[in-house]
Structure 1
């Protein structure tokens, strides 16, 4: 893909994931509708209309002008109240949950559509009011346009009421955790569909480049969320080589950092350019397939959903919030998501039709996601019995699924950490009885003792 074509595609991708997408799109639609109603000829004539609809038409210009002016001021007031509500919601979310949730709240499609209807109605009314100001009389289509504007205003009022209800619920604990879980599950499903192409394979152990591999450095800094792997594979197939991606998608790369290694012949110089220029052009062809995007979009990277649930849990366990119930809800969502990820075979190589590996990259493994999800929650909640028991339930559930020996070893390691935390903090007999009753209940592939280690005497 050429550089001139790649830039507008990247710009369109960033615009699609921004808060301005639906407001801009709906405003343009409303604008075209207003221009169409103004420019349409006054046909059919009033004589062709029956008496009933003729009473609905405007015979003077002042009445529709007053209506449109009132509608514009009303929608502007609704827009101000709605933006204020969003700011309050974002402030509340920043205080009680992870700051990364604000990106999802700001770019929520429903919020964008509501604000888009507001802005679109304002643009529609302004254009229609301008058209009426330049007219000698009100056409039939312009009259219908005014009534359509009234209907749009009523729709905006209904959306405003539902918007208040929706935004107030969006910061509830159950809504936040279930929303993160749902979005992550959808992202996992899209990832499985994306990798269903026959070219994607899981190659273990991951092929490593040779020491003589040509290094390709990043030409700009930022978060690389993904890459056009199929395009990279076709380029590598054309030049009969293998491309190794040296970073994990979602990582921050700096300008000049080695991000790729090329194992294969480099392009030769032709009569129009030197060899250095040919190699530089080839490197640029590979680099431009990387997709940069600021922020953490769960729709692009399902791993962000695990991270945000973990951060929401540890934020709830902080002394300022002190809401362990929120952490338990996050752990329940993580249990389901880790189980789904455990069953998903994530590829790390792209192969051509002959089975030759052309692109190799590092993918976040199940063990990595498990450590990133469970480890921080245990660090912050190691003194909370309910949190530790919930983590043990998570590990038990994952161990009882069809996991391999490597996954079972990782689960056992985390279970040992949880048991160490329980042994360290539990001193009272009532706590010991409560915990030991749950250690021995239910079967598990993990080794969990039926009794806690002897505790020291309690000092008064």
Structure 2
């Protein structure tokens, strides 16, 4: 029962990433507030305020109708204009930077809240307009409710101004890179601070029982702690074979167990594998490396030709790799100092190869970018600690491959000598 509750909570949490979640929530709240105001009007709040604070009540039917009609038309126009502009800017971001950035831009919660506030205000004004009786006198007219419509309209105008400012900042590549970097940085720091790994705490799983996936999609998250609790209860060890963030097909091996498990236990374990059709940086820091690398590659394409953006992207990659070298290549989940679950992760060698392979392919002809890449690799070599000395061999290999590609693409001997002098 507890597992099912946790599963339900995770599913509800995932809904918050959907673009329609906050608009729908605010629209429902707007309807609830509307009916609350209608209830207060039925109890005579406008009549009471007209006698006590007449300045707070609009007591002219035609004025109220004109205001509400104008507000509804104006809010719809503002909403259409705002999100038409969003679509245009998203199209530009996709063309100039990378289509992989779109989910992060679309899921901006502040913009979703503004959209929800627009919709809630439109619904409020519409229902209050319908509530006004054609032959109503000053006591029947919902004047206090109309006052709230005016306040909502003023707030919508303020939200519109903020939206224009926010979207103009959001689409700038420096802000995009900075947001990706900060999210992935916080994720990596969390993993580094909470990871536990001791060599020899987890036996080889080569001969263990294999279990396959019944779903397909990107593995968005794995509740390793909950799987560890199940493993402890069954007195068994689990080796998760799939890497978070990668696409998993049906019939792919997702985990191994050191002994045969019942169908009920298998189902309980697989419930803690969350699949999605999209990728999220908050759950998978490796995606940040992919996104920033794609921005750099796109910037170096002949159609864009923006080496400055590529250099900025490499700076962010350098900072991310500086954090990554402090993380172990394996992750174990412990309960009472016993490792029950091993989680597959993208190791440092594979990660830096994937990044450098793309950058070498598209940036090897540019002397300045090659210099920047060499400086990044040399910086990483200098900050490697004693326990991660194995990473130095990986970096030496990447430096050699980068120089080799540069020699094949750059014909100017002076430029080549300059690059070789850096190493």
State whether residues 331 and 343 of structure 2, in contact with CA within 8 Å, keep that contact through their aligned partners in structure 1. Answer: yes
Q: Identify the structure with the greater helix proportion.
A: 2
Q: Please give the secondary structure, in 2, of the residue aligned with 1:260.
A: strand
The 1:73–1:192 alpha-carbon spacing in structure 2 relative to 1, beyond 3 Å, is farther
Distance in 1 between the 2:166 and 2:372 partners? Answer: 30
Contact 1:132 1:138 in 2 (8 A): no
Change (3 A) 1:432 1:44: closer
Aligned to 1:14: 14
Instruction: Answer yes or no: is 1:237 the counterpart of 2:232.
Output: yes
Larger CA deviation: 417-426 vs 315-324: 417-426
SS at match of 1:343: coil
**Distance (whole Å) between structure 1 residues aligned to residue 206 and residue 134 of structure 2:** 74
Unpaired runs of at least 5, structure 1: 267-278, 441-447, 449-460
Aligned to 1:111: 111
Shift of 1:73: 0.9
CA distance 1:242–1:3, shift in 2 (3 Å):
closer
SS of match in other structure, 2:343: strand
Taking the TM superposition and a 5 Å limit, the aligned residue runs for 1:373-412 are 373-403=355-385, 404-412=388-396
Check 1:421–1:130 CA distance in 2 against 1; reply closer, same or farther (3 A cut): same
Q: Which residue of 2 aligns with 1:457?
A: none
Aligned mates of 2:236, 2:178 — CA distance in 1: 45
- 1:247-280 deviations in whole A, cap 9, x for unaligned? 11112222222211111353xxxxxxxxxxxx22
Q: Give the conservation status (yes or no) of the 8 Å contact 1:224–1:252.
A: yes
Indicate yes or no: 2:358 matched with 1:362: no
Q: Which residue of 1 aligns with 2:28?
A: 28
- The reply on whether 1:413 has 2:397 as its aligned counterpart is yes
2: CA distance, partners of 1:127 / 1:312 = 47
8 A contact 2:47–2:139 mirrored in 1: no
Tell me if 1:422 matches 2:406: yes
Aligned partners of 1:75 and 1:157: how far apart in 2? Answer: 9
How far apart are the structure 1 equivalents of 2:206 and 2:396? 35
What is the CA deviation profile of residues 32-65 of structure 1, one whole-angstrom value per residue up to 9, with x for unaligned ones?
2222111122248548854xx3144222333222
For 1:250-399, list aligned pairs within 5 A: 250-264=245-259, 266=261, 279-345=262-328, 348-353=331-336, 355-399=337-381
Name 1:209's counterpart in structure 2.
205
Are positions 1:179 and 2:179 aligned together?
A: yes
Q: Evaluate the alpha carbon distance shift between residue 32 and residue 356 of structure 1 in structure 2; reply closer, same or farther with a 3 A threshold.
A: same
In structure 2, do the counterparts of structure 1 residues 256 and 135 end up closer, same or farther at CA, with 3 Å as the change threshold? farther
Secondary structure, counterpart of 2:191 in structure 1: helix
Structure 2: distance between partners of 1:428 and 1:351: 56
SS, match of residue 304 in structure 2:
coil
Q: Is the 8 A contact 1:17 1:107 kept in 2?
A: yes
Distance (Å, rounded) in 2 between the aligned partners of 1:168 and 1:137 = 47
Q: What residue number does 1:443 align with? A: none
1:345: how far off? 4.5
User: Which ranges of structure 2 fall in alignment gaps of 5 or more residues?
Assistant: none
Structure-1-length-normalised TM-score = 0.84
Residues 122 and 48 (structure 1 numbering): CA distance in 2 closer, same or farther, change over 3 Å? closer
Task: Tell me if the contact between 1:185 and 1:337 (Cα under 8 Å) persists in the aligned partners.
Answer: yes
> How far 1:143 sits from its partner (Å)?
2.6
CA change 1:80–1:424 in 2 (3 A) is: same
- Provide the rounded CA distance (Å) in 1 between the counterparts of 2:251 and 2:273: 15
Larger displacement relative to structure 2 (285-294 or 8-17): 8-17
Change (3 A) 1:17 1:73: same
**How many Å separate the matches in 2 of 1:23 and 1:112?**
6
Q: State the SS of the aligned residue for 2:305.
A: coil
**Residue aligned with 1:400, SS:** helix
Q: Distance in 1 between matches of 2:402 and 2:49?
A: 84
How much does 1:144 deviate?
2.9
User: What's 1:64 paired with?
Assistant: 64
Residue-by-residue CA offset, 1:171-192 (whole Å, 9 max, x unaligned): 2232222222222223323434
> 1:423–1:139: structure 2 CA closer, same or farther, 3 Å change rule?
farther
- Whether 2:101 is the aligned partner of 1:101: answer yes
Please give the root-mean-square deviation of Cα atoms over the aligned residues, in Å. Answer: 2.6
Query: Aligned partners of 1:133 and 1:19: how far apart in 2?
Result: 37
Please, what TM-score do these two structures have when normalized by structure 2?
A: 0.90
Which stretch shows the higher mean deviation, 28-37 or 3-12? 3-12
